[in-house]
Amino acid sequence: MSITSQPFGQTPDGAPIERYTLTNAHGLDAAIMTYGGTLTALRVPDRDGVFGDIVLGFDTLAPYLGDQPFFGALVGRFCNRIAGAQFTLNGTTYLLARNDGMNHLHGGPHGFHRAIWHANERPSSEGPSLELHYLSRDGEEGYPGNLSVTVIYTLTDQNALRIDYTATTDRDTVINLTHHAYFNLASSDILNHELQLDGTRFLPIDETLIPNGELRPVQDTPMDFTTSTVIGDRIASDDEQMRRGQGYDHTWVMDKPAGALGHAARVYAPDSGRVLDVSTTEPGVQFYSGNMLDGSLAGKGGAIYTRNSGLCLETQHFPDSPNQPQFPSTVLRPGETYRQTTIFQFGVRV
């Protein structure tokens, strides 16, 4: 196993960006750059032992600097949406950037996906490990408090990509971090991938994709992935929720105990035999079926990313939690430590 690094260009203001490649004992490798803490490549074998890159992205830095849909990035301070781009905490209302209609999305236009993270190789008995750190200053994107964030990527010798997050603050604030990889376990689109989600309830959304506060059972809806189901089977259903999301763009409520590391999802690609299992400590998983990919982006090797070219399984707290007190709290206070672990485990089915 090893970690190597190389320059990966520079930002318009001249800041250098590094890309680190983690390789485990079985030859799997993950490439992570300091811009956005972004996972730019992840190579795993198929059922025939042929390695392939299973995440969407770009070959060079420049496209990541432009308007692109968070390919592989760390997302914060608050992933997903906050209604009306504002929230009230301790009697003070904080105004955030409106970058999704009237709402705030994924930490704002200059969120963590635009930050330059400080990287250090980290000793680990599990496999090659990279530690990233970022200090989000008080007032950044409208959020209160200096927030110190550490994210550790480990490519384990059990063929898993483990992501551990911690954060502390000097003022009461809100936090909701996630990873925004777009997975495609085969060479075609993801509509023939099979998905299982360990959640018997989901969060219905309004016309602006904000949860309405209900925890609705998935039974007898297109949201029922309690058993492995082909993603394309119901994605075009004449269902209000499917119309609002233009496909799947919803949060599933995990059935596991709160805060416990447990299994959340499984994806299987019949074409390649690749299997992805997701475990997390988070109470929800946002399943996004790549509905907004419109063919305007040329990715790795010139590949054109069209609708459903990739899928996201974003482990997180619920969207708009600061405005919906019935949801699990996303408030972080001085003296507390935010912790989250998500594990992407890779395998094959013959």
pLDDT averaged per 10 residues in sequence order, the chain, 350 residues? 95 97 97 98 98 98 96 98 98 97 97 98 94 98 98 98 98 98 95 98 98 97 98 96 97 95 98 98 98 96 97 98 98 98 97
Residues 176, 214, 337, CA angle at the centre, nearest 5°? 20
pLDDT reported for residue 21: 98
Q: Report the distance separating Cα 213 and Cα 229, nearest Å.
A: 26
Q: Which of 167, 161, 208 is nearest to 78 (CA)?
A: 167
Please give the positions annotated as active site.
180, 314
pTM strictly above 0.75:
yes
Q: In CATH, which of 3.20.20.100, 3.40.50.150, 2.40.110.10, 2.70.98.10 is domain 2-348?
A: 2.70.98.10
pLDDT reported for residue 278: 98
Residue holding tokens 């995440």?
55
Domain residue extents for the chain: 2-348
pLDDT reported for residue 87: 98
pLDDT reported for residue 187: 82
C-beta of residue 202 within 8 angstroms of C-beta of residue 249: no
pLDDT reported for residue 123: 85
